[in-house]
Amino acid sequence: STRPQDAIEKSFVRSDALSAPDTRLREVLGKPLQALKAWAASNQQSDLDALCSQYAEQSQSGITRQLAGPTGERNSYAILPREHVLCLADDENDLLIQLAAVLAVGSSAVWSETDISKPLRARLPKDVQARIKLVPDWAKDEVTFDAVLHHGDSDQLRAICQQIAQRSGAIVGVNGLSHGETNVPLERLVIERALSVNTAAAGGNASLMTIG
């Protein structure tokens, strides 16, 4: 099965036309991605440069929207990044694709320390390096992550899924991609948070509830 790359942002077009969303957090979260985009442009990596722009446009992370509700109630819906995403790939190009996706939602990447990943991280801008954690063995329980991106073949993916399933704690979703694939499901790298505030007790003014 397939999904349109712009499926998520299209679903919000109508509501955003009626009420402007709060994008302040998104602007902060997007700074490392902009640093990666600038690095790609200065290193003649036009495909990565374009991919950073594409993911930045598609990402809904860091945006809060006000929802319709009855009088005396204020409802908001926010999309927030998962904290850590494990990125597994055998070549530099796939690692950079994964990194662009992770930074687009405002998460941090967890890389397995290899002869490819370690020198690659060292070449990246400091702001980007700060969002990458190198680990000797990602399978250890003390290594934390909330989602997994994997570029590779089906045999590798099967083995990784088996390892992930044996971990203690919350279920972690694994997203498998073929070598060079850029259609990363950004929605798998975020969480949704809905908040409902009863403003009736403050006479309809929710800000009064924060006083004193």
For 64-99, how does the pLDDT look when each residue is reduced to its tens digit (9 = 90+)? 999 888 878 889 999 999 999 999 999 999 999 999
What is the pLDDT averaged over residues 176-186?
Answer: 97
What is the pLDDT averaged over residues 133-156?
Answer: 96
* Cα–chain center distance at 58: 11
Q: State if pTM tops 0.85.
A: yes
Beta bridge mates, 151: 177
Q: Which domains does the chain have, with CATH numbers?
A: 7-210 (3.40.605.10)
Ramachandran region of residue 124, left (φ > 0), alpha (ψ -120 to 50) or beta? beta
